Amino acid sequence: TPEQLDAMIRAAKQSLGERTVVMGHFYQRDEIVAHADFIGDSFQLAQQAKAHPEAEAIVFCGVHFMAETADILSTAEQAVILPNPAAGCSMADMADEDSVEECWADLVDTLGPHATAEDGTVLTDEHGEPLASVIPVTYMNSSAALKAFCGRNGGIVCTSSNAATVLKWAFARGQRVLFFPDQHLGRNTAKAMGVPLAQMPLWNPRKPLGGNSAEQLRDARVILWHGFCSVHRRFTVAQIEQARAEHPGCTVVVHPECPMEVVDAADSAGSTDHIRKAVAAAEPGQTFAIGTEINMVNRLAAEHPEHTIFCLDPVICPCSTMYRIHPGYLAWVLEELVEGRVVNQVSVQSDVAEDASVALERMLAAVP
């Protein structure tokens, strides 16, 4: 029963004490969040993974790319455990290493390695170093192999809470950005920074030059991979119009993985932590229509009875892979740890981890 699982998790955690840290993403179900020592957005959880070298094991209740990141940022002696190894992310799967490598080879072939002016002279930064023609930026929601690709090629990782800061970092070093896997986060962030849509071509890996002409690529500022989140893609402007009609004066807050029209029609957009803070900072008695994963929206509603909070999508929209972290799996991995056994460990190959940590550390250093 749920009560038995709850008691098993509590008992195992008590017996493990400080040897184990349980981390949970905001999208986890309540029965998991109840046991998390730390809960946060993907950036905060990456920071936390570095902050607990005393723990022998980090049990990561989230999805695979987050656990990989925790493994890269934690010490070599620590084990990172993903309670259910089938908890992936469909967006992360939309960019595979081979396709990105092919795209990169095409871009370098077409644009050359360095930024150039129209007359062909090489552009330099304030120290006289040549600017790159393209800087690769990967969203945290990607495999460790792609973070390593960025580490090797002068690139960086971003999350939804720091994408603008990271794009500024990239533009200080290069003429263009190749942003993957999420086209929406890339487009929404670059648009808010003033990049015209015409300079944000989409890269479709099934077409030559991603479906673009060499001219379009030369003109580009941000080349967007064609990935998306199947949860956030569901939100529409019609839902926002309906929410505003039924709840005049309501505040619409959405995640930047939503399509551009939805972000434009909302009052604000930001990471899961931004959404939580927007609600927490409001005067009592507000109405919020939220465009993100349903477990988080329902928890916010329960935590803030002083507000009216509902999800923009009337049909339940869970992240099905986040939901795969069932309390049964958490109980099992913790009980195995009590017995001295590590199960469902996520272990990034050391050479990949080394390159990926370069790109992750660039992000951690770039974000104040």
Q: Per rule CB under 6 A, is residue 272 in the interface with ligand 13P?
A: yes
Sites for ligand 13P among residues 9-48 (CB under 6 A): 41-43
Q: Which amino acid is at 21?
A: V
Q: Of ligand SF4, ligand 13P, none, which one does residue 189 interact with (CB within 5 to 8 Å by kind)?
A: none
How many degrees, rounded to 5, is the angle at CA 297 between CA 71 and CA 328? 50
Taking the complex as a whole, how short is the minimal distance between the CB of residue 160 and ligand 13P, in angstroms? 4
Per-residue binding letters, 241-260, with ligand 13P (x by CB under 6 A): --------------x-x---
Taking the complex as a whole, how short is the minimal distance between the CB of residue 322 and ligand SF4, in angstroms? 6
319 is in an annotated binding site: yes
Q: What's the rounded Cα separation, in Å, for the pair 348 and 336?
A: 21
Q: Per rule CB under 6 A, is residue 293 in the interface with ligand SF4?
A: yes
Q: What's the rounded Cα separation, in Å, for the pair 59 and 43?
A: 17
42 is in an annotated binding site: yes
Q: What's the rounded Cα separation, in Å, for the pair 227 and 182?
A: 5
- The residue range among 16-24, 223-231, 237-245, 345-353 that interacts with ligand SF4, by the rule CB under 6 A, is 223-231
* DSSP output for 326-345: -HHHHHHHHHHHHTT---SB
Instruction: Rule CB under 6 A: choose which of 239, 298, 321, 344 binds ligand SF4.
Output: 321
Per-residue binding letters, 148-177, with ligand 13P (x by CB under 6 A): -----------xxx----------------
Neighbours of 132 (CB within 10 A): 24
Cβ closer to ligand 13P: 88 or 211?
Answer: 88
* DSSP output for 90-140: TTGGGS-HHHHHHHHHHHHHHH-SB-B-TTSPBPB-TTSPBPEEEEEEEES
- What b/e string do you get for 212-250 counting C-beta neighbours within 10 Å, with b at 16 or more? beeeebbebbbbbbbbbbebbebbbeebbeebbeeeeeb
In sequence order, the β-bridge partners of residue 174 are 132
Cβ closer to ligand 13P: 42 or 133?
Answer: 42
Write out the residues near ligand 13P by the rule CB under 6 A: 41-43, 141, 159-161, 229, 255, 257, 271-272
Write out the residues near ligand SF4 by the rule CB under 6 A: 63, 89-91, 141, 229-231, 257, 293, 319, 321-322
Q: Which residue positions form the known binding site for iminosuccinate?
A: 25, 42, 139-141, 160, 255-257, 272
